[in-house]
Amino acid sequence: MSRVYNFSAGPSCLPEEVLKACAAEMMDCNGTGQSVMEMSHRSKAFEPIIENTEKLVRELMNVPDNYKVLFLQGGASTQFAMIPLNLGLKYKKAAYIKTGVWAKKAEAEAKKLGIAVDTLASSEDKGFNYIPRVEKVTGDYDYVHITFNNTIMGTHYEYIPDTGNIPLVADISSCILSEPLDVTKFGLLYAGAQKNLAPAGVTLVIIREDLITENPLPGTPTMLTYKTHSDNGSMFNTPPCYTIYVMGKVLQWIKDNGGAEGMKKRNYEKAEMLYGYLDNNDFYHATAQKGSRSIMNVPFLTKYSTGATDDASVAKEKEINDKFVKEATAAGLVNLKGHRLVGGMRASIYNAMSLDGVKALIAFMKKFAEENK
């Protein structure tokens, strides 16, 4: 067996201990003689599985009792619509902070549903390479929406905006449980699982109970109503059973490795090592500004990324990026191609990425810089 170091932005690497535990239970989970994939979601065998996953979410994230934990489908992208449908009720007005592609998509979906949107701040002027500072928000808003970690641009909030009584909603898809987060500061948190929690197929929603309404915007489908899922323990219809099971294993792995604090320590060690190298060499540089940098997604360019748009410069840059990705892949370091909007390379170093993986990446980068200077 030969495993690679996988720097994919999502779906992304899972802890090997988790993959092994799932493999060991593949044919017979807990003496039931079945795989979790084959179980009825209403069976006695599945009940403790979903209960365990929820219990671990609550424990590791310190979720207070007046919040519901929901396991939904449709990805984080479906939350872009569910949030305005269920929260945009009183003023039909919401505030968004525009920090990248996902933030823009979330905002666009609210507008589509007839919600008046105020963009409080945007970092689009600088290609979204920083997080704007919005300390305090007041106004007649049903909610304020932020994208806490911007997966594509590699930026992250180093503060939480103070929205007073206005519910703060955050997309934490690519940073959930990467470090401790004070849930009580938020009305609603959501995360597609395929970055830091599980394989693709489940979206975790943590919602304060008073935001769960019986009467969302007129015409809201049953499946897009939070109450439907909170009333039915995420089992109104068939939930993504296997993914919820794997999430439980990932959460147990997080717990065994020191919980959110343990992940923070692990992640800062990796991120500081990688940024440290990027900031102190003359071949590569990180694209995100200091003070806004993600510890999960690290986009970087080479010295050939000069911003020049003449054909020769563009071709040279593409050639060097392609070469980097190809040689890295051959060396067992995969999925390093940057997002087309940023270019260059991107190393996603989620919880499951080991320090050894980051060390191997840096060693490769040094060698490649030497050979291509």
Ligand X SMILES: *Cc1c(COP(=O)(O)O)cnc(C)c1O
| Active centre residues (catalytic) | 102, 171, 195
Nearer to ligand X, 170 or 365 (CB): 170
| CB of 81 vs ligand X, minimal distance in Å | 11
What gap in Å lies between CA 91 and CA 216, rounded to an integer?
13
| CB of 23 vs ligand X, minimal distance in Å | 25
Nearer to ligand X, 196 or 252 (CB): 196
Peptide bond into 161 cis (omega under 30): no
Closest of 138, 136, 171 to residue 156, by C-alpha: 171
Residue 285: both structure tokens together: 């540089």
Cα separation values, 119 from 108, 137, 362, Å: 11, 12, 38
The DSSP secondary structure of 238-261, one letter per residue, reads ---HHHHHHHHHHHHHHHHTTHHH
DSSP H or E stretch at residue 52 = helix 47-61
Nearer to ligand X, 94 or 365 (CB): 94
Nearer to ligand X, 128 or 283 (CB): 128
| CB of 239 vs ligand X, minimal distance in Å | 15
- The site for ligand X (CB under 6 A) is made up of 10, 75-77, 102, 147, 151, 171, 173-174, 192, 195
| CB of 58 vs ligand X, minimal distance in Å | 22
Closest CB to ligand X: residue number: 75
Secondary structure class of 210 (helix, strand, coil)? helix
Nearer to ligand X, 175 or 254 (CB): 175
| CB of 102 vs ligand X, minimal distance in Å | 4
Q: Which amino acid is at 102?
A: W
Cβ contact 195:296 at 8 Å: yes
Nearer to ligand X, 195 or 346 (CB): 195
| CB of 107 vs ligand X, minimal distance in Å | 12
Sign of dihedral through CA atoms 268, 151, 243, 228? Answer: positive
User: What burial class does residue 223 get, using C-beta atoms within 10 Å of its C-beta: 0-12 exposed, 13-18 middle, 19+ buried?
Assistant: middle
Per DSSP (E only), the strands in the chain are 5-6, 67-72, 93-98, 116-122, 143-147, 149-150, 155-156, 168-171, 188-192, 203-208, 284-286, 297-302, 333-334, 345-348
- DSSP secondary-structure letter at 145? E
- Within the chain, how many helices (H) and strands (E) appear? 9, 14
| CB of 8 vs ligand X, minimal distance in Å | 11
Nearer to ligand X, 76 or 224 (CB): 76
